[in-house]
Chain A
Amino acid sequence: MKAILFLSLAFLKKRKRQTIVSTLGFAISVTAFIVMSSIMFGFQKYFIQQVIDIEAHISIKPKEEIAEDRLIRRVDNESLIKALGSRPKEKDKILGWRDIMKRLEEHPEILGVAPHLESKGILKYGAKEKPVSLIGIEPFLEARTSVIERFLEKKNLSSLETHKDSIIIGKIVARDLGITETGKRVVLTLPNGQTKIMKVVDFFNSGITNIDASRVYIPLKTLQALLERVDEVNVLIIRIRDVKRAEALARELRAEIKYEVESWQKAYLNFLKIFKIQNMITYMIVFAIITVSAFGIFNIIMMTVMEKRKEIAILMAMGYSSKDITLIFLCIGLITSVLGGLLGFIFAYGILEYLANLDLELEGLLKSKGFILDRSPYYYLLGFVLSFLFSLIASLYPAYRASKLNPVEIFRSL
């Protein structure tokens, strides 16, 4: 093997310019792979983690009536079809929710269950109004089923327990209403026309824009009283031990419970699908970059093989086997990709370090300061393995061609 390395390195050293260009090509592709993976998966993992922390792992709610079932068709003059809506047949509530909760809490995979009453409402502060999603919660039970407290700026969840007119509002809701500190009083208006003055006791800041821009928590009993729905809830949220098992467990619960059982994966299916498409597009771009680098390697090795026919012939005359010749040219490709990979690590580390320290306010699907990065060494390893594999594939054919040269034909042709 030392003879193979000795010759591969000699061929590489003498072709400095081509070696540098192809090494840089691989370095750029490895850098692109690592940086893009870190940004993309950093964002996606953070989003999913926040969702898992804030939202129910599994939620139970009344089945939505399909609009089609509520249509009445009437045919007039044999051609005209009119569709008229009928009233919903089922009430938006969970009957016997305490019994359901009790049963669920006995399940070994379930950590906690909490009741919600969810509704729409409008918050008014001064002249400003904002539609919000109201969630009536029991703070003690809520703390067991989500990590809501982690997202509260003042960690003041217990205020909902002690003060029935207290309200926790999303950070963006507060910003839009112009509320900058707790203690302010807002007017809450409900769909039935009831209004109540509530005191802001905390801000909720999950980082997920659409949640922070709409969500409001108030005590369950207060919301039940305002909506005149005493002791009614319309959602049960469940926290489980293994979040990855949410869909499987939801399937299991569907067989036992007559209400709709939805896992977080199903609730956020659209996002997960978008992430998949996003990953596909990103990897297509990265693969295109790596492929171009691999073609660079292919080109250089093929050129070397064509130019070095007589050197290959003399190596064979010295006793180098076809396998040795193949290995020499494979090594040229692999050394280039290893050097490129290592250089790519340095570039990627530098870029990620820069991005991590960037003071930037980003607000899209997520609200964050700077880029959310996943700096796992796994992406470095994967980038390295991919470039190594691509370079191996790119070097195989020229190396094979070199090994099939016939030394006698070469000596005769010179």
Chain B
Amino acid sequence: MVLLELRDITKRVGQELILKRVSLRVETGEFIAIIGPSGSGKSSLLYIMGLLDRPTSGTILYRNEIIEWKDAVINRLRNQKLGFVFQFHYLIPELNVLENVMAPQLKAGRSYGEAKERALELLTRLGLDAKSKRQVFEISGGEMQRVAIARALANNPEILLCDEPTGNLDTKNTQRVMEIFEELNQEGTTIVMVTHDMSLAERAKRVIEMRDGEIVADR
């Protein structure tokens, strides 16, 4: 089943063409790694897949339906079908660990109690239940990234989009994060991960290589 499809996606920033007629199909349950040198367009592609950025031309389909670029549609998909994990955790320092994981759920319309319960469930799964009441600055970098993963998973997304998710982590935490991704993928979550690290890319089921705004290899 094709979950997400990009057709002839072009992205122009100023005079520069950063994505050149890129087409890509993401099927349910895939674990895709996107690799390539800096400036090859990997993150731009990820942002378009995650509906954070609008392509200059081309079509995006979700479950074989063309996505209309309307605020309500885009925001609903971002909130309920997609989850983001970035290189930097981007946790909200005004919220504690638990509240950070609750934030997307409250937007989805869950009650405070439901959101809290789900957040605790995810934090327990990621080994952070004991730190749920901690402030963000009171936990380590690896823990922050795990909280960011919990936040991305809060609304049960169908696709997890990760932009260099281990870029700021040490080897031990990188392993831990990769294990989480593999577990999630085994459970059915589709994962698309941008990375520089070939050893991490090798752990994905499919590797897409980009160069100069084009897909040059898909294996």
Contacts and interface: CB of A to CB of B under 8 A. Distances in A.
A225 B108 CA distance: 93
Given A3-B103, A317-B52, A319-B79, A311 B92 contact: yes
B91 to A, nearest CB: 8
A314 B107 contact: no
A355 interface: no
Given A14-B93, A316-B52, A319-B80, A6 B71 contact: no
Residue of B84, B102, B107 with highest tally of chain A CB at under 10 A: B107
Contacts of B63: none
B112 interface: yes
A133 to B, nearest CB: 71
Nearest to B84: A317
B99 interface: yes
Contacts of A11: 94
A314 B90 contact: yes
A323 B75 CA distance: 11
A321 interface: yes
Interface residues of B, number: 32
A318 B79 contact: yes
Interface stretch (A98-106, A271-279, A344-352, A406-414): A406-414
B53 interface: yes
Given A7-B103, A322-B71, A408-B53, A311 B79 contact: no
Nearest to B105: A3
A320 B75 contact: yes
Q: Is the interface of B mostly helix, strand, loop or mixed?
A: helix
Nearest to B78: A319
Interface string A300-320: 000000000011011111111
A320 B76 CA distance: 9
B208 to A, nearest CB: 20
Nearest to B89: A314
Nearest to B90: A314
Contacts of B95: 7, 10
B193 to A, nearest CB: 16
B82 to A, nearest CB: 8
B106 A3 contact: yes
Interface string B37-59: 00000010001001011000000
B86 interface: yes
Interface string B56-78: 00000000000000011001111
Contact of B104 (A313, A319, A411): A319
Given A11-B94, A14-B94, A319 B75 contact: yes
Contacts of A310: 88, 90
Contacts of A322: 71
A6 B103 contact: yes
B107 A318 contact: yes
B47 A408 contact: yes
Interface string A143-163: 000000000000000000000
Contact of A317 (B50, B108, B112): B50
Given A3-B106, A314-B92, A318-B107, 7 more contacts: A6-B106, A13-B94, A313-B90, A315-B103, A318-B151, A407-B52, A411-B47
14 contacts: A6-B103, A7-B94, A10-B95, A11-B94, A14-B93, A310-B88, A311-B90, A311-B92, A316-B78, A317-B84, A319-B75, A319-B80, A411-B47, A411-B52
